[in-house]
Structures are given as C-alpha cells and as structure tokens.
Amino acid sequence: MINLARILALGLTLAIAACATTPPQTMTAPPAKPLDAKTQLESGRRM
C-alpha cells in the first residue's frame, strides 16, 4: 500500500512539474497576406 502511495505521489509531482514548465504562448498576429492584382486595382492600395 505504501508503494501505491509513493507511485501516486510521484505521478502527481510529475504532472504538476510538467504543467509548470510550459512556455508562455506569444500572442502575435499572423503576417498579412499579399493583396492580389484585382484587389489592388479595386482598393487603390499597393503592398
């Protein structure tokens, strides 16, 4: 029974450690896709 408690404690410790070491996610916008020729002509914008 003590072995089971040790295994559960070890598993819980590893689970907490795995969650604590995840890198923070960056919140950057994806790069803007280039405008096609028709859109450039219609909007007057050039990329």
Greater pLDDT, 41 or 22: 41
Q: Is the pLDDT of residue 20 over 80?
A: no
Greater pLDDT, 25 or 12: 12
CA 23 to chain CA centroid, Å, is 9
Q: How far is CA 35 from CA 28, 29, 42, 47, in A?
A: 21, 17, 11, 7
Q: Is the pLDDT of residue 2 over 70?
A: yes
